[in-house]
Structure 1
């Protein structure tokens, strides 16, 4: 449970830093949608580099390569592709059409999707109070999104992308949890696959773009990119904790605590950037974290 909660805390810091960068610094692309994708590419590339360095410095290169070659790693690869490139691209497309708050509201159902898939494929059984607490947490997130909503553009296309994102993230948790089941593949190997696959996919996308479609982009790698680098550090720790939680307590309980990042993101924005929190945000944030804890806690264990 501790790792699952830490994944939410660190992802909240990651989200806060990336949100601040995107709202205060400008990168020019002819296609505006490529701006957040490019930032995500830089973010995941730095994260992959950090994880690869940790594997090398701790002398775990051979065990990781051995895990990657195992038959069960195909579930990690597939889950990583769904959660990384597919999930994140769908999320960014949804933001483009719906705005960030509505996208966050719809995509926040991913633990419910994961709960369903875990029940069907992993035979996970959740107690009634845990299921109720999970949906209460999602309800608090939806309420928080409406409190923060400043853009209400309605779009069927955006809703579809947000739902694809929720399905992709929920599927990622179940597939990767299954791949790490019984300790056959370590969580370090799983997160190595996840981040390197994301880095390669985004990297290929932008290599092709700059080779064939580059029309005078303005990209300044200055000190402002420190925010992206710091976000990548927090994101790397978050992914490590999240995958560790998936391997130890299962996807349902891990996701219930991971969604607490929505509350921690607002908290870090307050401490890092002095963004004012309202009483509604504080109450809803506490509700999200407490509901997640109740959903992840098993009285009989």
Structure 2
């Protein structure tokens, strides 16, 4: 158990670091001349990010000989519901997040975005009738208060003239990701497993990004004239940044599944929230964003709230101790 805990904490920490860096690099790429002058820049960025994420996951599926299983999963009820969840969480969530990064800066967008597990829990309470413990309610309230305080930050509006617009788009992303979790929760609880299909988390994730990529490629890009911008990026080699950034996106989700496997969904979700911390650090190092005491405090309050909401430390470490004692007795 101790080994699993260490592995879980490692992969969980990797999730936060990778997503925090992904966020900042997306903000950096969004400032290049072509994307800065294109009306559809944020949607193009989201399309390329999720498109290359799908590409890397496809490579992983081929390497692990799971690609056939992905197509089999698509035919099942759970696979179809995963597609529905992806429509909410990927195009809506990712597009809103990229717009949040553009208008409100990576550090602020990332700090606000990590409240999505709490919003998801609230939606689950009303839609799936799931109960909320007092600890969870306290954690959600703390994270929401931190988010509200962040929204009232005294930022330099000369530097970020559309800051509040960016925060609004980030809230849209939060709602999209939270709704995605509720739909997946419904699928897992209400839809029975089909015995002839044994799907891995990576296969579900591949379907998620396939759905996102197809939606952007077939619907969103033609509607906004995004392919013209993609062609310009290709001719200027700016597009080469996106495959590298997408590797971070793929690592984020694959590590998250690993963390959940080793230490459970609650701790895995809580560690995911550390992306806000890393986004603030990388924003300072790469973009030169000023880390004001107010920003740092708000970010820490939000992360603290997510941890309180997601993790019952007495239960978590209590189970760890019991398992270790049992192993010692058996030896």
Q: What TM-score do you get using the length of structure 2 for normalisation?
A: 0.71
Q: Deviations over 1:147-203 (max 9, x none)?
A: 546346598x98876654433221101222443569864321111011111111111
- Give the conservation status (yes or no) of the 8 Å contact 1:17–1:231: yes
Report the CA distance between 1:84 and its aligned residue. Answer: 1.0
Give yes or no for contact 1:73–1:179 (8 Å, CA) kept in 2: no
Q: Are the structure 2 counterparts of residues 172 and 241 from structure 1 closer, same or farther at C-alpha, using a change threshold of 3 Å?
A: farther
**Secondary structure at the counterpart of residue 65 of structure 2:** coil
1:240 aligns with 2:247: no
Matching residue of 2:221: 206
Q: Are the structure 2 counterparts of residues 80 and 249 from structure 1 closer, same or farther at C-alpha, using a change threshold of 3 Å? A: farther
> Kindly tell me: are residues 166 and 65 of structure 1, through their superposed partners in 2, closer, same or farther at Cα, counting changes over 3 Å?
same
Q: Is the 8 A contact 2:20 2:279 kept in 1?
A: yes
Among candidates 283, 305, 309, match of residue 291 of structure 1: 305
How big is the shift at 1:48? 0.5
Preserved CA contact (<8 Å) 2:118 2:309: no
Secondary structure of the structure 1 residue equivalent to 2:315? coil
* Equivalent of residue 73 in structure 1, options 69, 79, 86: 79
- In structure 1, the gaps of 5 or more residues are none
SS of corresponding position for 1:198: helix
**What SS class does the counterpart of residue 300 from structure 1 fall into?**
helix
Q: Which of 40, 46, 51 is equivalent to 1:40?
A: 46
User: Is 2:233–2:239's contact at 8 Å kept on the other side of the alignment?
Assistant: no
- Determine the C-alpha separation between the residues in 1 that align with 2:213 and 2:230: 23
Residue equivalent to 1:278: 292
Shift in Å, 1:77: 0.9
Name stretches of at least 5 consecutive residues in structure 2 with no aligned partner. 1-7, 317-331
Aligned to 1:133: 139
CA distance, structure 2, for counterparts of residue 218 and residue 192 of structure 1:
28
Secondary structure of the structure 1 residue equivalent to 2:34 = coil
Q: Rg: which structure is higher? A: 2
Q: 1:94 to 1:6 in 2, by over 3 A?
A: closer
| Structure 1 residue 61: Cα displacement | 1.9
Q: Match for residue 324 of structure 2?
A: none
Q: Is the 8 A contact 2:110 2:275 kept in 1?
A: no
**Take 2:207 and 2:277, find their aligned partners in 1: how far apart are those partners?**
28
| Residue pair 1:147, 1:281 contacting (<8 A) in 2 also | no
Is the contact made by 1:176 and 1:246 (CA closer than 8 Å) also made in structure 2? no
- Which of these residues, 30, 33, 42, is aligned with residue 26 of structure 1? 33
- Higher mean C-alpha deviation, range 50-59 or range 7-16: 7-16
Check whether the contact 1:79–1:176 (CA below 8 A) recurs between aligned residues: yes
2:183 to 175, 182, 191: 175
User: 1:190, 1:243 within 8 Å by CA — same for their partners in 2?
Assistant: no
Which of 51, 58, 69 is equivalent to 2:57? Answer: 51
Deviation at 1:289, TM superposition (A): 3.1
Computed over aligned residues only, the root mean square deviation of the Cα atoms, in angstroms, reads 3.9
What SS is found at the alignment partner of 1:219? helix
Does the CA contact (< 8 Å) of 2:69 and 2:199 recur in 1? no
TM superposition shift of 1:216? 11
Q: What's the offset of the Cα at 1:56?
A: 0.3
For 2:49, what is the secondary structure of its paired residue? helix
TM-score normalized with structure 1 length: 0.77
Aligned-partner SS, 1:263: helix
Q: Is the 8 A contact 1:253 1:295 kept in 2?
A: no
Cα displacement (A) at 1:52: 0.4
